[in-house]
A and B are shown apart, each in its own frame.
Chain A
Amino acid sequence: MTESTTPGTSRAAGKDLRLEGVTKRFGDFVAVDDLTLTVPQGSFFALLGPSGCGKTTTLRMVAGLEEPTTGRVLIGAEDITNLRPYKRPVNTVFQSYALFPHLTIFDNVAFGPRRRGVKDYQQKTRDMLKLVQLEPYATRKPAQLSGGQQQRVALGRALINEPGVLLLDEPLGALDLKLRRQMQIELKRIQTEIGITFVHVTHDQEEAMTMADTIAVMNAGVIEQMGAPGDLYENPETTFVANFLGQSNLIMVDVGDTSGRAVVVDCHGQKVGVESTRSHTSAGKGWLGVRPEKIFASPAGLENHNGSNVLTGGRISDVSFVGVSTQYLVRMPWGQELMVFEQNTGQRAAFKNGDEVDLAWSRAHAFLLDADQDAQAGMMTPEADT
C-alpha cells in the first residue's frame, strides 16, 4: 500500500523550489503564462496579485493537483512535474481550509503522519497542537471551532509533515482584520522558527509586504516583478506594481538626456531628474512616478529646495484629515491632480483648499516607467479587495 510511502529521499536540505517555463491553459484560456521563478529554500515567498491572476493555479501545479500544460516543477534537482500529489514533499493550507469534518482536531492533524506510518505520531500531534495553541480543542470537530482556530488546524495539519515546501493559499483571507494581523505575526514567527520554505499566496499587498522576504507580483498569468518588499515598493518597474503596491502619482513626461547618473525629464515644461538605476524606459515619453508620502508640499516660492526636484504652480484642491496624516490633492498647471500625504507632526499648520504650493521630492525617490502602459493598471478597485 502507498500508505507507507515516505517521500524521504526528497526531504534533505538544499532544496529550492523551481518553476521553469510553466504554462497552464484551460481550453483557450491561459491561466498561467510561461512562469519561471526560484524560491530559495527556507525563505518566506509571497505570490501577490489580484483575484483571478492565476495564483491558486500556480500553487496547485506545485502541489500536484493540477498538471502544467508545459514546463517543469523542480525541488532541488528532482523533477516533480509528473509526481502524484501524495508522493510530493509539499503540503498545502487550502483557501477553504478543507478540514475533514468527520474527524476530530487531533485526527485532522494526525492525518498526514498516520498515512506515512510515522511511529510516534501521537506525540508529534500533541506537540503540533501545542505549537498552534489548540491543545484544549483536540477532541472537538472542525465545525465547533471559530474561523481563526480552524485556520490554525489547517496550518498544523500541513506543518506536522515537515514538508520541503509549505503552500498557503490565502490562508488568512476568511479572517477579520484584527485576527488577520495577529495571524500574520504568528505565521511569520512559526516560519522563522522551523525554517520551512513558505509560498504564501495573497491578494493583500500589505500582508505580502509585512511577511515576505521576497514578493512576486503576478498579473494576468505572468510575474510583473519580483524582489524584496522594499525594493518593489521603492523601485517598481511597471505601472501595475506601482499602483498595486501602495499608491503612486504617475505623470506623463518627455525623457531627455539619459547620459548622466540621473535621467533628466521634462515634466510639462519643468525639468526634474530621476536616478538612472530607477529609470525603466529609454527615450521618448515616460511615466514619472512619485509616491504621495515622498512629496513635500510648501507654500509657493517660500522655500529653497536645493538638490531636490521641484514642481511649482500647484494649488490645493482637496484636504482630508485621516489622523496620522493629512492627505492633499494638488491640482497642477496641466490639470492633473497629484496626491500628497503629510505626517501630522504638528510642526506647521495644515494647508487649506486653494493654497498655492510647490511640490518637492528627492531624486532618489522618483522612478521612470515605460509610457506604453496603462496608468490605471493595478489600481485597487473596491471588489478587488475581497
Chain B
Amino acid sequence: MTEAVTTPPAPPAPVVDGENARRRGWGWLLLIPGMLWLAIFFLFPTVQLFFTSLYDPSGSFERGYAMTWHVANYADAIIDTSNLFVRSFMYAAITTFVCLLLAYPLAYAIAFKSGRWKNVMLVLVIAPFFTSFLLRTLSWRAILSDQGPVTSFLQTIAILPDDGRLLATPVAVIAGLVYNFLPFMTLPLYASLDKVDYRLIEAAGDLYSSPFTGFRTVTFPLSLPGVVSGTLLTFIPASGDYINAELLGTPKQYMIGNRIQAAFLTERNYPWPRACRSS
C-alpha cells in the first residue's frame, strides 16, 4: 500500500521534439474554415454595426448617413429606451425562471422515467418547430382571447375578475415567451440529466439520502451544466424577442426588440437601433 503516498513519476514523453513541433504546426490549420466563417459572417457585420452606430442620426435611408463619430447615439438609445430595457430584462428573467420550473421535471421524466418512449418524447418536445413561430404565437392569441376558454375558465373560478382579460397583459406576453422558448430550456436540461449515471443516485440512497436529498446533493449539481446552458439559450433570445409582445401585448408591454424593429423597418433610423444593439 505504498502506492497511496508515492505518486508514480510521469512517463517520459513518447514523441521526439521535432515530431511534436510538426504536429502542432499542422493542427491549427483545422481552425481555418471555422475562423473564416466567423470572420465573414460575425466579425465583419459586428464591426460594421459598430461603425453604423456612430453615424450622424440626421441622415436618412435615402440621403445616406455621414460618419460623424456621433457617440451621443448611445446616450440617446439608453435614455430613450431605458424602460424598454428594464422591461425586456424583467420579462426575459421571468420567462427563464418559469421555463426552468416547467422544463426541469419534464427533462427529468424523459431522462429517467420514459423508458422506451424516450425518443418519441424528445421528438414531441421539438415537433412544434415544424410550424412557424409566428403562427404558433398567433394561435396563443386565440387561446388567451377575451372569449377564449382560458379566460372564461379563470373568470368562472374567480381568479380573474369578470371584466378581466389575459390578452394584452404582461401575463400573455410572458406566457407566449415561455411557450416559445420552452424547448430551448428542455433540451439542454435533458442532455445533462441523461448523462447522470443512475448508479450515483443509487449510491446516494445507499448512503442515507432520501430520494429528495439524493436529488439535492447529487442529481441537481450534476445537471448544472444543463441549467446554465438552458438559461442562456432561453434568456438571450427571449430578451431580444418582439413577436410575442407585438401579437399578445400592447405598446405598454413592448420590449426592446419591438423598438429596434420599428426603428429599422418603419422609421428607417439606422444608427439608433445599432447603438441599442451594441450597448
Task: Please indicate the chain B residues that have their CB under 8 angstroms from the CB of A149 in the complex.
Answer: 3-4
Task: Please indicate the chain B residues that have their CB under 8 angstroms from the CB of A90 in the complex.
Answer: 206
User: In the complex, how many residues of chain B place their beta carbon closer than 8 angstroms to a beta carbon of chain A?
Assistant: 23
Q: How far is the CB of B175 from chain A (nearest CB, A)?
A: 35
Quick one: closest A residue to B221, CB to CB? A102
Interface residues of B in 1-22 (CB under 8 A from A): 1, 3-5
User: By the criterion CB–CB under 8 Å, are A111 and B1 in contact?
Assistant: no
Interface residues of B in 220-270 (CB under 8 A from A): 221-222
Q: How far is the CB of A98 from chain B (nearest CB, A)?
A: 4
User: By the criterion CB–CB under 8 Å, are A115 and B205 in contact?
Assistant: no
User: By the criterion CB–CB under 8 Å, are A92 and B208 in contact?
Assistant: no
Quick one: closest B residue to A2, CB to CB? B210
A1 is an interface residue with CB less than 8 A from chain B: yes
The answer, among B5, B208, B212, B222, for a CB contact under 8 Å with A102, is: B222
Quick one: closest B residue to A154, CB to CB? B203
Contact flags (1/0) for A147-187 with B, using CB distance below 8 Å? 01100100001100100000000000000000100100010
With contacts A1-B210, A148-B3, A182-B1 taken as known, whether A86 is within 8 angstroms of B199 at the C-beta atoms is no
User: In the complex, how many residues of chain A place their beta carbon closer than 8 angstroms to a beta carbon of chain B?
Assistant: 39
User: By the criterion CB–CB under 8 Å, are B208 and A115 in contact?
Assistant: yes
B32 is an interface residue with CB less than 8 A from chain A: no
Q: How far is the CB of B248 from chain A (nearest CB, A)?
A: 40
Contact flags (1/0) for B187-221 with A, using CB distance below 8 Å? 00000000001011011111111101110011001
Taken together as a complex, chains A and B put the C-alpha atoms of A2 and B217 apart, in Å, by 14
Quick one: closest B residue to A148, CB to CB? B3
Which applies to chain B's interface (DSSP): helix, strand, loop or mixed?
helix
Quick one: closest B residue to A118, CB to CB? B208
User: By the criterion CB–CB under 8 Å, are A179 and B3 in contact?
Assistant: yes
Q: How far is the CB of B76 from chain A (nearest CB, A)?
A: 47
With contacts A98-B197, A98-B199, A149-B4 taken as known, whether A161 is within 8 angstroms of B218 at the C-beta atoms is no
The answer, among A1, A7, A99, A136, for a CB contact under 8 Å with B213, is: A1
A116 is an interface residue with CB less than 8 A from chain B: yes
A100 is an interface residue with CB less than 8 A from chain B: yes
User: By the criterion CB–CB under 8 Å, are B209 and A86 in contact?
Assistant: yes
Task: Please indicate the chain A residues that have their CB under 8 angstroms from the CB of B222 in the complex.
Answer: 101-102
User: By the criterion CB–CB under 8 Å, are B213 and A94 in contact?
Assistant: no
Q: How far is the CB of A306 from chain B (nearest CB, A)?
A: 50
Quick one: closest B residue to A115, CB to CB? B208
Q: How far is the CB of B110 from chain A (nearest CB, A)?
A: 22
A336 is an interface residue with CB less than 8 A from chain B: no
Taken together as a complex, chains A and B put the C-alpha atoms of A116 and B204 apart, in Å, by 12
With contacts A3-B210, A84-B205, A112-B208 taken as known, whether A133 is within 8 angstroms of B221 at the C-beta atoms is no
Taken together as a complex, chains A and B put the C-alpha atoms of A186 and B1 apart, in Å, by 8
A85 is an interface residue with CB less than 8 A from chain B: yes
Q: Which of A1, A2, A182 has the most CB of B within 10 A?
A: A2
Taken together as a complex, chains A and B put the C-alpha atoms of A96 and B199 apart, in Å, by 8
With contacts A133-B1, A148-B3, A186-B1 taken as known, whether A98 is within 8 angstroms of B208 at the C-beta atoms is no
Quick one: closest B residue to A87, CB to CB? B208
With contacts A94-B199, A98-B199, A98-B203 taken as known, whether A86 is within 8 angstroms of B4 at the C-beta atoms is no
A143 is an interface residue with CB less than 8 A from chain B: no
User: By the criterion CB–CB under 8 Å, are A2 and B5 in contact?
Assistant: no
Taken together as a complex, chains A and B put the C-alpha atoms of A7 and B274 apart, in Å, by 65
User: By the criterion CB–CB under 8 Å, are A112 and B207 in contact?
Assistant: yes
The answer, among A85, A115, A157, for a CB contact under 8 Å with B202, is: A85
Taken together as a complex, chains A and B put the C-alpha atoms of A85 and B211 apart, in Å, by 10
Q: How far is the CB of B25 from chain A (nearest CB, A)?
A: 31
Taken together as a complex, chains A and B put the C-alpha atoms of A50 and B183 apart, in Å, by 47
With contacts A115-B213, A133-B5, A148-B3 taken as known, whether A86 is within 8 angstroms of B205 at the C-beta atoms is yes
User: By the criterion CB–CB under 8 Å, are A85 and B205 in contact?
Assistant: yes
With contacts A100-B200, A133-B1, A179-B3 taken as known, whether A86 is within 8 angstroms of B208 at the C-beta atoms is yes
The answer, among B4, B203, B218, for a CB contact under 8 Å with A133, is: B4
Taken together as a complex, chains A and B put the C-alpha atoms of A98 and B213 apart, in Å, by 17
Task: Please indicate the chain A residues that have their CB under 8 angstroms from the CB of B204 in the complex.
Answer: 100, 111
User: By the criterion CB–CB under 8 Å, are A161 and B5 in contact?
Assistant: no
Q: How far is the CB of A167 from chain B (nearest CB, A)?
A: 9
- A-B pairs, top 6 by smallest CB distance, nearest first, are A2-B210, A133-B4, A98-B203, A115-B208, A112-B207, A85-B205
Name 28 A/B residue pairs within 8 A (Cβ), A-sorted: A2-B209, A2-B210, A2-B212, A3-B210, A3-B213, A63-B206, A64-B205, A64-B206, A65-B205, A84-B210, A85-B202, A86-B205, A86-B207, A90-B206, A94-B202, A94-B203, A96-B197, A98-B199, A100-B204, A111-B204, A115-B213, A115-B217, A136-B4, A137-B4, A148-B3, A158-B206, A161-B208, A179-B3
Residues of A within 8 A of B (CB): 1-3, 5, 7, 63-65, 84-86, 90-92, 94, 96, 98-102, 111-112, 115-116, 133-134, 136-137, 146, 148-149, 152, 157-158, 161, 179, 182, 186
